[in-house]
Amino acid sequence: MGSRRLLVAVAGAALTLTLAGCGGAGTDAAPTPPPVDPAVKPYCDTVVRVQTEQTSPQAGQGGVPAASEVARRQVGDLVASAPPELAGEWRTVQQLTDQALSSLAATRGDPNRIDRAELARLEQQSQPAVARIKDVTSARCHVEFRPPA
């Protein structure tokens, strides 16, 4: 469970999203967010799908290789659907995620061999891109980012 949790945290550090105030979830009196711009709807739909996949009980199953492949696919989907204003940031996150997943693969599943300093460096490097992704995605898709569990 520890290596699964670390993998999900590393691979999903920039991707773990939580819907904020989306209508249709019961009869609460929460304000309904404005509609999503059709130009970014495919991206927003991808964000919601990835968030759902990452929070499912099956997330991280199958070990590091399988979970890494899923994470790469998820980031690739976000890169492919990102609006032009976030394309560069998502490419940066994709490159850093690939590096982090390669570092994890080098451990052959042994959590004692994880280069935590390298992963911390990659996470630090991703912070400017992640901050912009969070801000723009929140504003355009009406989602709120939370840190990985």
Per-residue pLDDT of the chain (149 residues; tens, 9 = 90+): 444 455 545 444 434 433 333 333 344 556 677 788 888 999 999 998 888 888 777 776 777 777 888 889 999 999 999 999 999 999 999 999 888 888 888 887 677 788 888 888 888 888 999 999 999 999 999 887 654 54
Closest CA to 14 of 130, 114, 113, 142: 130
Single pTM value for the model: 0.75
- According to the model, what pLDDT value does residue 39 have? 87
pLDDT at residue 7, rounded to an integer: 52
At 73, give phi and psi (nearest 5°).
-65, -45
Distances in Å between the alpha carbon of 30 and those of 25, 76, 111, 131, 145?
10, 33, 43, 26, 18
In this prediction, residue 35 carries a pLDDT of 81
Where helices occur in the chain by DSSP H, the ranges are 2-11, 41-55, 63-81, 87-105, 116-141
pLDDT at 13: 43
Could you identify the residue written with the tokens 């993998």? 7
Residue 30's pLDDT is 60
Q: To 5 degrees, how large is the angle CA 11–CA 65–CA 130?
A: 10
Pair 97, 14: CB distance under 8 Å: yes
Using CA atoms in the order 109, 110, 113, 114, what is the torsion angle rounded to 10 degrees? 50
CA distance 58 to 96: 24
Q: What is the pLDDT of residue 29?
A: 52
What pLDDT sits at residue 87? 95
Rg (alpha carbons) of the chain, rounded to whole number: 16
Instruction: Give the Cβ contact number of residue 62 at 10 Å.
Output: 12
pLDDT, position 101: 86
